[in-house]
Amino acid sequence: MKTSRISGFYNKTLNERMEIVKSFSDLTDEEISLLKSQMDMEIANRMIENVVYLNDVPVGIATNFLINGKEYLIPMAIEEPSVVAAASNAARIARAGGGFRAIATEPLMIGQVQIVNLSDPYSAKFRVLENKGELIKIANEQDPVLVSLGGGCKDVQARVLDSSLGPMVIVHLIVDVRDAMGANAVNTMAEAVAPKLEEITGGKVYLRILSNLATYRIARAWARFPRNVIGENAVNGIIYAYEFARIDPYRATTHNKGIMNGIDAVLVATANDWRAVEAGAHAYAAMNGYTSLTRWEMDKEGNLIGTIELPMAVGTVGGASSTHPKAKIARKILGVKNYMEFAGVLASVGLAQNFAAIRALSEEGIQKGHMSLHARNIAVMAGATGDLIDRIAEEMVRENRVRLDRARELLKKYRSD
Ligand code: MEV
């Protein structure tokens, strides 16, 4: 049976790893050669403006993920060492507790329309609500395909905000965007209803744009990390780390950054708008005073239970995730069928990343792991190649002298041996 539980993946050669991914995800030979090649400059040139060259970010595969009983290999594009290894390691421990469970709400996005110059904002708000049916109709005329798939504008809400420039009515279109990230659909609808809103309220519309605080589009994941696998000290350390993040925004920011290390890496690999998810995550964490996006607690048997909850405005259709050739293959590797599944995977990766970070921080610290990876980079910078990279890195870590000058000395020594 297909499993993502692969021991020693990191010890395999680049080609061996590719072969494992190929057979796990049924990749074709063409897809493999596409992954190994550079993006066509013509595609890049159509993607953004003023293109000059391509940037390179390594994509690693996090192994061991079991989510809702399904096996996943997770492609992660990131320049930071340790993140992929940490996610794989956390996922290995979570599977000992049955793997991750994950759920997501319906994909409801919010489109905002700002109305100003209102003398009677409260009655304007009520008139907007009175005309909800007409507004929904106008919005849905913009996207018959989305509506035919069961999506579209489902509700209209309105708020009166007091501002230093006078009252504003802020209208929210609640739009089910199905498997898309939804920015285009929502923005088009927000622009389309604006003239009608001016007519209804007698005010003037300025902004028409989605909100990245997608509070109706929430992904949740949880997992049990058995005490007999990680030990009581780790359980206690993680709960203390969580409590620190819960009560201190300075710590919570770093704690959440660790979560986003994992989520963003998957979003970059799949060409999703990671800035949108970042913005939403941190705003969600700040809704009642900035705090942790995860919670850590102990069950009756003393096992560690982690939960995570955050907005997840991502898509499996549309946008760059459908046009970027490697991103499409990354999604195939991931094997997610729709938005709901994707959102659950992302939340699970975030939880795994957080577990790994706060476990390391509360026990040996993160520098030990970082240092050995850092040492390899230093060895490469000194000019080491092949086997010498690991040999020099290991020696520098052993001596606790991870420095460029030492790497150069060792390189000279080994080359003259
Ligand atoms: C580093 O990229 C992420 C951590 O700082 C996260 C954390 O402190 O929880 C290790």
SS3 per residue for 284-326? HHCCCCCCCCEEEEECCCCCEEEEEEEECCCCCECCHHHHCHH
Give the pLDDT mean for 259-286: 97
Ligand 1 site, residue 255, Cβ cutoff 6 A: yes
Q: Is 273 a catalytic residue?
A: yes
**Angle value at C-alpha 279, between 132 and 315, nearest 5 degrees:** 65
Give the pLDDT mean for 352-381: 89
Ligand 1 site, residue 358, Cβ cutoff 6 A: yes
Q: What is the pLDDT of residue 22?
A: 98
Per the prediction, the chain carries an average pLDDT of 96
The pLDDT confidence band at residue 365, using thresholds 50, 70 and 90, is confident
The pLDDT confidence band at residue 88, using thresholds 50, 70 and 90, is very high
Q: What is the pLDDT of residue 371?
A: 82
Identify which of 78, 254, 368 to mutate to test ligand 1's pocket (most ligand atoms within 8 A of the CB): 254
Burial class of residue 155 (count of CB atoms within 10 Å of its CB; 0-12, 13-18, 19+): middle
The Cα–Cα gap between 379 and 402 comes to 9
Cα-Cα-Cα-Cα dihedral sign, residues 69, 71, 76, 80? positive
Q: How far from 158 is each of 171, 197, 389, CA to CA, in Å?
A: 4, 11, 61
The Cα–Cα gap between 382 and 415 comes to 12
C-alpha torsion 348→352→358→359, nearest 10: 140
What is the 3 state secondary structure string of 130-157? HCHHHHHHHHHHCCHHHHHCCCEEEEEE
Q: What is the pLDDT of residue 295?
A: 98
Q: Which residue has the tokens 């979570």?
A: 94
The pLDDT confidence band at residue 364, using thresholds 50, 70 and 90, is confident
Closest-lying ligand 1 atom to the alpha carbon of residue 360: 10
Q: What is the pLDDT of residue 402?
A: 93
Cα-Cα-Cα-Cα dihedral sign, residues 378, 383, 386, 390? negative
Q: Is 134 a catalytic residue?
A: no
Q: What is the pLDDT of residue 24?
A: 98
pLDDT per residue over 162-205, tens digit each?
999 999 999 999 999 999 999 999 999 999 999 999 999 999 99
- Tell how far the Cα of 259 is from the centroid of ligand 1, in angstroms: 8
The Cα–Cα gap between 11 and 198 comes to 63
**Measuring CA to CA, which residue among 261, 269, 241 is closest to residue 72?**
269
Q: Which residues are CB-neighbours of 176 under 8 A, at least 6 positions away?
A: 106, 107, 108, 109, 146, 150, 151, 152, 153, 154
Ligand 1 site, residue 357, Cβ cutoff 6 A: yes
Q: Does pLDDT of 416 surpass 90?
A: no
Of all protein residues, whose CA lies closest to atom 4 belonging to ligand 1? 258
**Measuring CA to CA, which residue among 250, 272, 303, 332 is closest to residue 34?**
332
The answer to whether residues 263 and 350 touch, using CB atoms and an 8 Å cutoff, is yes
Q: What is the pLDDT of residue 210?
A: 98
Ligand 1 site, residue 258, Cβ cutoff 6 A: yes
Q: Does pLDDT of 321 surpass 80?
A: no
Ligand 1 site, residue 261, Cβ cutoff 6 A: yes
Q: Does pLDDT of 227 surpass 90?
A: yes
pLDDT per residue over 63-78, tens digit each?
999 999 999 999 999 9
Q: What is the pLDDT of residue 373?
A: 79
Task: State which H helix or E strand residue 116 sits in.
Answer: strand 108-116
The answer to whether residues 16 and 24 touch, using CB atoms and an 8 Å cutoff, is no
Q: What is the pLDDT of residue 75?
A: 98
- Tell how far the Cα of 397 is from the centroid of ligand 1, in angstroms: 21
The pLDDT confidence band at residue 57, using thresholds 50, 70 and 90, is very high
Say how many CA atoms lie within 13 Å of 213 toward its Cβ: 8
Q: What is the pLDDT of residue 319?
A: 82
- Tell how far the Cα of 382 is from the centroid of ligand 1, in angstroms: 28
Closest-lying ligand 1 atom to the alpha carbon of residue 241: 9
Percent share of the chain, pLDDT over 90 = 92
One-letter amino acid at 198 equals E
Give the pLDDT mean for 16-42: 97
- Tell how far the Cα of 100 is from the centroid of ligand 1, in angstroms: 21
Residue 81 CB neighbour total at 10 angstroms? 18
Q: Is 324 a catalytic residue?
A: no
Which member of 16, 80, 134, 199 is catalytic? 80
Look at phi and psi of residue 272 and say left if phi exceeds 0, alpha if psi is from -120 to 50, else beta: beta
Q: What is the pLDDT of residue 320?
A: 81
The pLDDT confidence band at residue 372, using thresholds 50, 70 and 90, is confident
- Tell how far the Cα of 256 is from the centroid of ligand 1, in angstroms: 8
Q: What is the pLDDT of residue 322?
A: 79
In this prediction the pTM is 0.92
pLDDT per residue over 97-145, tens digit each?
999 999 999 999 999 999 999 999 999 999 999 999 999 999 999 999 9
